[in-house]
Amino acid sequence: MKRKVGLLGGTFNPPHIGHLVIAQQVLQKAQLDEIRFLPNQVPPHKRSDKTVSAKQRLRMLEGSVSGNPDFKIEKIELQREGVSYTYDTIKEMTKRDPEIEYSFIIGGDMIEYLPNWFRIDELMEMVHFIGVNRPDYSCETPYRLQFVEVPDLSISSSFIREAVKNNESIRYLVTDEVYRIIKEEKLYG
């Protein structure tokens, strides 16, 4: 029987409790064996932020997931140069680990954006999609996916970056370790 692994991709700039809540809820409700956080190098749908390095984002993510044995980090996209397309990542991962059944976890914003994904029709044949609700998005798509209801947390990495920039508190929006790294390295200020 294949292991069931959920992939939660993103820039994680910074990782926050919303990411952790989504991962835990999907792990349990979709009956997965583990969740792998998949930090990307350069996402095709966002402009790159050069103020925080991939190494710093990875360090924050490692701090976020360190307390949960069911959470791992998949570094495949950080090891590639250029834009990170999910199609290329899934193709490489399924070739590398054919004994694993991957599910790709996406929020409502990405559910609506699916028709614009690179090689989406082929990708739909390669990986199972799990969609989760996100405030202010309809989660409607012509593509098949499993839907998992998660608590509505209106937290985003951009909100956290803006709060730090404005010298506002981000306590309890990120883990203690991420909070410490942001403060020590003076990120987002």
pLDDT in tens, 46-87: 555 668 999 999 999 999 999 999 999 999 999 998 888 999
Q: Round to whole Å and give the CA distance between 175 and 71.
A: 14
Q: Is residue 16 part of a domain?
A: yes
**For helices 54-65 and 176-185, what crossing angle results, to 10°?**
150
Among 19, 21, 17, which residue's Cα sits nearest to residue 9?
A: 19
The answer to the question of residue 166 being in a domain is: no
- Compute, in degrees rounded to 10, the torsion defined by CA atoms 89, 92, 98, 99: -50
Say which CATH number the domain at 66 has.
3.40.50.620
Instruction: Give me the domain span that covers residue 147.
Output: 3-152
- The answer to whether the pTM exceeds 0.85 is yes
pLDDT score at 49: 60
> Model confidence over 145-185: pLDDT tens digits?
999 999 999 899 999 999 999 999 999 999 999 999 999 99
Assess if residue 131 is contained within a domain: yes
In a domain, 184, yes or no: no
Q: Is residue 136 part of a domain?
A: yes
Domain count, the chain: 1
167 belongs to a structural domain: no
In a domain, 142, yes or no: yes
Provide the pLDDT for residue 48. Answer: 57
Q: What is the pLDDT of residue 43?
A: 64
14: preceding bond cis by omega (within 30 degrees) = yes
Do the domain assignments include residue 174?
Answer: no
Q: How far is CA 25 from CA 32, 38, 131, 165, in A?
A: 10, 17, 12, 30
Q: Is the confidence at residue 29, as pLDDT, over 60?
A: yes
Q: Check residue 41 and give its pLDDT.
A: 85
User: In the chain, which ranges are E strands?
Assistant: 3-10, 34-39, 71-73, 100-107, 128-132, 146-148
- Structure confidence at residue 50 (pLDDT): 66
112 half-sphere exposure, CB direction, 13 A CA radius: 9
What are the φ and ψ backbone dihedral angles of 103, each rounded to 5 degrees? -125, 135
Contact 116, 141 (CB under 8 A): no
| pLDDT tens-digit map of 108-150 | 889 989 999 999 999 999 999 999 998 888 888 999 999 999 9
